[in-house]
Amino acid sequence: MSFEKLEAWSIAFADAVWGLPMVALLLGGGTFFLIISRALPYRYLGHAFAVMAGRFDTPDEQGELSHFQALAAALSNTMGLGNIAGVALAIVAGGPGAIFWMWMSAVLGIATKFFTCSLGVMYRGLDSAGNL
């Protein structure tokens, strides 16, 4: 198989996967989670900021991380250098219309992130030293 054929196949595969099926999966999945949760991530946004500000912290609480440290660790995985460079690249490649789709994915993606973080908390475990 020559490199030209491999390149042509790779481009055709990427166009098929990253086209309409991916948009439908991301936006449809986010919409599904938002409906199932009855917009829970948006309804409790004020509570999330109160937890982050330390309103519910107690000094004698067990654990290695504060609420803010746990939030920062979860968000650092989501928002990093890729999001900064990705926005610039999306605007250069897609024009100003890319901003609309980034907002749509952010509005619906918050529900997906909520469910993935919830599953992570539900199925976390302790190691042999008793640490998370």
Question: Does residue 87 form part of some domain?
Answer: yes
Domain that holds residue 24: 3-56+66-122
DSSP assignment of 108-119: HHHHHHHHHHHH
Two structure tokens written together for 32 = 């599904």
Mean pLDDT computed over 112-132: 79
> 25: part of which helix (H) or strand (E)?
helix 20-36
Residue matched to tokens 């024009």: 95
Task: Render pLDDT for 65-76 as a digit per residue (tens, 0 to 9).
Answer: 777 787 777 777
Task: Render pLDDT for 12-31 as a digit per residue (tens, 0 to 9).
Answer: 998 888 888 888 888 898 89
* The total number of structural domains that make up the chain: 1
Q: What percent of the chain has pLDDT over 70?
A: 95
Two structure tokens written together for 17 = 């996967």
Question: Does residue 108 form part of some domain?
Answer: yes
User: Distance (Å, rounded) from C-alpha 66 to C-alpha 59?
Assistant: 10
CA 76, 43, 112, 96 dihedral sign is negative
pTM: 0.64
Question: Does residue 127 form part of some domain?
Answer: no
pLDDT at 118 over 90: no
